[in-house]
Amino acid sequence: MQRVELYGGAMETQMPSSFLDASTFREVPDHQEVWISSECAASVIVEILEHEGAVSDEAAPEHFFMDYADSKEDAEVLSSVCVPPTDLPNLDPSIVRSVVSLRARQKTTKFRGAPQGAPEGGSAVSADRQPHEVNVYMSIVRMPGKNSDILIILNNPKPPPGVTGEAAEGTQGVDDTRAEEWASA
């Protein structure tokens, strides 16, 4: 595991050591941080969005995932849970109203190998155009007082036979994210 800074140090988290900062080899929007595994097609995206006050915490999993998914027909939320911020020691409950997490699945063709410009050996996923099943784990940190919703997304495509390593081990590090400097602004 490696400790990484996000948004110029305003946030920090831990990532598997096999994950690379995508901004070093492709353009990433300012409101996103994208980390891509060098071992397989797994990725972590942290995205700061304007708070959607019209969306309740109960409706947030379906709303944000369906907005994110490539195809509404090939995507489904499998489970979701709302976690009170008091249960997460790195979050200030006076700023964070709730954290909603979900587990979902989608079929997509966008996980087709290493991104252009990625270091050698950037992905073990085949270059075919067949849809791949992707497990998606998303946490939505709801911060209405800061007019923000923060999405933390792990895309974990079902790996082809023989792919191993930290990238296939799930959401390690996602629950260790700190946003102290950014949240106090």
Q: Within 13 A of 155's CA, how many CA atoms are on the CB side?
A: 26
Tokens standing for residue 39: 């071992």
Q: How far apart are CA 99 and CA 122, in angstroms?
A: 32
Instruction: For the chain, give the mean pLDDT.
Output: 80
The residue type at 46: V
Given a cut of 50, whether residue 138 has pLDDT beyond it is yes
Q: pLDDT digit string (tens) for 49-92? A: 999 999 999 999 999 999 998 777 789 999 999 988 888 888 88
Nearest 5°: phi and psi at 145?
A: -65, -25
Using DSSP's 3-state secondary structure scheme, residue 137 falls into strand
Examine the pLDDT at 2 and tell me if it is beyond 70: yes
User: Per DSSP, which regions of the chain are E strands?
Assistant: 2-6, 11-15, 19-21, 32-37, 43-50, 75-83, 98-108, 132-143, 148-157
pLDDT bucket at 161, cuts 50 / 70 / 90 = low
∠ at Cα 173 (154, 116), nearest 5°?
45
Check pLDDT > 90 for residue 109. no
pLDDT band at 107 (very low <50, low <70, confident <90, very high): confident
- pLDDT by residue (tens digit) across 4-61? 999 999 999 999 999 999 999 999 999 999 999 988 888 999 999 999 999 999 999 9
Distance CA 152, CA 32 (A): 10
Residues 6+ apart with CB under 8 A from 106: 69, 70, 71, 74, 75, 76, 133, 134, 136
Distance CA 114, CA 124 (A): 8
- pTM, to two decimals: 0.77
Opening angle at CA 102, ends 100 and 107, nearest 5: 145
- Quickly count helices (H) and strands (E) in the chain: 2, 9
Q: Per-residue pLDDT for 181 more than 50?
A: no
Query: Residue 167: pLDDT band by 50, 70, 90 thresholds?
Result: very low
